[in-house]
């Protein structure tokens, strides 16, 4: 542990860990954000979940991090860390190429409030924006910001655009949007600052289902243009 990184400790597994308050341990990898790291993080998450350790409530992930939430009256941080250090995180068979989930999107004026603006701003035609957006297979990194909001990787650099200067008060449910080098779908109506380029009717969050979201982190996703 170096003195200029107070509290962070290097694990033999290559990540650093940090006691985040009294209920959580944060793991953070130095690796670049990408598919490889995503699968390593999901692998660690599955190992922890599979053990069903009493006192560990849940595990959530970020771009290059994983957080273990525990109940300190049932398990101590040191016991969680002992488990982590003594576990062999051998690879699960999750790296195999799985077929992407196809999400149908309507990219037309009525549902794509900012599509024309985006095209003009990026010096592309509307058709080019659509082609570029539907070309890649995106990785679902994690869900956050709103219940069911998927953080996706792999937006083409040609579609990098800053957030709107004034966020919309109401972004409709199912809006497909881009901003800040990312693309995403609003799972329900909410305020939002991303540019809306399309619309999907896929259900991304249903609190009356358990689990409430259809796709777990690690899912591969592709957008397909449909005509209404």
**Residues 63, 142: contact at Cβ < 8 Å?**
yes
Cβ proximity to other proteins, 30 vs 224, nearer residue: 30
Cβ proximity to other proteins, 69 vs 117, nearer residue: 69
Least Å distance, CB 85 to other proteins, is 19
Instruction: Name 190's Cβ contacts closer than 8 Å, sequence gap at least 6.
Output: 146, 170, 171
The residues of the shown chain that bind other proteins, judged by CB under 8 A, are 4-8, 18-24, 26, 28, 33, 57-65, 67, 69, 142-149, 151, 188, 190, 205, 207-208, 210-213, 216-217
Residue 198 host element (H or E): strand 195-199
Taking the C-alpha atoms of residue 76 and residue 73, their distance in angstroms, rounded to an integer, is 7
Cβ proximity to other proteins, 83 vs 145, nearer residue: 145
**Residues 27, 15: contact at Cβ < 8 Å?**
yes
Q: Is 50 exposed, middle or buried (0-12, 13-18, 19+ CB in 10 A)?
A: exposed
Classified as helix, coil or strand, 135 is coil
Residue 215 DSSP code: -
Q: Is 37 exposed, middle or buried (0-12, 13-18, 19+ CB in 10 A)?
A: middle
Cβ proximity to other proteins, 137 vs 146, nearer residue: 146
Least Å distance, CB 221 to other proteins, is 16
Cβ proximity to other proteins, 20 vs 117, nearer residue: 20
């Amino acid at each position: 542990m170096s003195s200029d990184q107070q509290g962070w400790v290097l694990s033999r597994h290559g990540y650093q860990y940090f006691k985040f308050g009294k209920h959580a341990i944060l793991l953070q990898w130095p690796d670049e954000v990408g598919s490889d790291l995503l699968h390593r993080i999901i692998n660690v998450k599955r190992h922890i979940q599979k053990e069903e350790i009493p006192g560990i409530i849940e595990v959530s992930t970020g771009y290059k991090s994983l957080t273990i939430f525990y109940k300190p009256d049932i398990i101590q941080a040191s016991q969680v860390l002992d488990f982590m250090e003594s576990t062999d995180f051998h690879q699960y068979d999750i790296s195999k190429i799985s077929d992407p989930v196809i999400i149908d999107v309507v990219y037309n004026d009525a549902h794509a409030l900012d599509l024309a603006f985006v095209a003009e701003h990026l010096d592309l035609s509307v058709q080019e924006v659509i082609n570029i957006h539907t070309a890649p297979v995106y990785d679902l990194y994690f869900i956050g910001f709103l219940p069911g909001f998927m953080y996706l990787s792999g937006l083409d650099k040609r579609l990098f655009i800053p957030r709107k200067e004034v966020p919309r008060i109401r972004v409709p449910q199912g809006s497909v949007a881009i901003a800040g080098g990312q693309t995403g779908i609003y799972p329900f109506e909410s305020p939002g600052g991303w540019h809306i380029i399309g619309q999907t009717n896929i259900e991304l969050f249903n609190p009356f289902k358990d689990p409430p979201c259809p796709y777990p982190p690690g899912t591969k996703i592709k957008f397909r243009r449909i005509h209404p």
